[in-house]
Amino acid sequence: MIDGLLANASDVKPGTIHADTQGQSFPVFTLAHLFGFDLMPRIRNWKDLIFFRHSAQAEYAHIEALFGEAGRNVIDWRLIEKMWPDLMRVAISIREGRLNSVTMLRRLTSNSRRNEIYKAFREVGRSVRTVALLRYLADAALRRRVTAATNKVEAYNGFADWLRFGNAGVIADNDPVEQEKLIKFNSLLANCVVFHTALDMTEVIRELIAEGWEVTAELLAQLSPYLTEHINRFGIYPTDDLAIKPAAFDAALAEIDFDTLDEAA
């Protein structure tokens, strides 16, 4: 997830990362924070997670129970200060492509109890995740956004799995290169189908507007491009039209005011 964001060369620069339970851990929270990303995952059984105090003397009038026994679960700020130059060196190495974040996390978690760099990553992550959880509890709109964003990701994954029907969707090759190819080809296919469906939906929406139907941003927000009813996975795939250049398509729906969605959020 981190490597993918850092390798992003598009004009879209996301500031918030949404993921499921597997997309979060203390070191991942730390890396996201160091790179300026706001990690807001949907965490399963978050009520069982530990909240960490900023000091042993800290007491909270209404949420004290979240932090456990008084004086415990305290962030080790001295360790963070001591190891901060090392944390920055690791972050810069990942950002410059000299170190893979997955490799780094794997190395840190092995023998982690005696690894001070890992402990420092853990302490920063504890602080960042505690703040994220408190924000999640306090902000109903944020909870809705996190749930909606995660549902979109899960819907896409389910759609991609549906398209990967060959060999019952099982990647049987043991070669990591071939495995990566299969995953990327599946993602490419899914993106192409989503794009084609979105164009078809846009044409239909324009026809409805021309017929006098009122189409609002709120109605469009209920639509999804992950449709399968119109797709024949096992049919004939003609290729004789590939050389025909399609006409330019304007995907913008200027007739609809999308600012209402921002106001509702």
Cβ distance 171 to 182 under 8 Å?
yes
Tell me: the pLDDT tens digits for 32-80? Answer: 898 888 888 888 777 778 899 999 888 888 888 888 888 788 999 999 9
Cβ distance 136 to 143 under 8 Å?
yes
Query: C-alpha dihedral over 8, 11, 16, 18, to 10 degrees?
Result: -60
Tell me: the pLDDT tens digits for 1-43? Answer: 777 777 777 787 888 888 877 777 888 898 889 888 888 888 8
First to last CA, the chain: 26
Beta strands of 11-127 (E only): which ranges?
16-17, 38-39
pTM over 0.85: no
CB atoms within 10 A of CB 232: 7
- The Cα 231–Cα 193 span in angstroms is 9
- The Cα 247–Cα 245 span in angstroms is 7
> Which uninterrupted H or E stretch holds 16?
strand 16-17
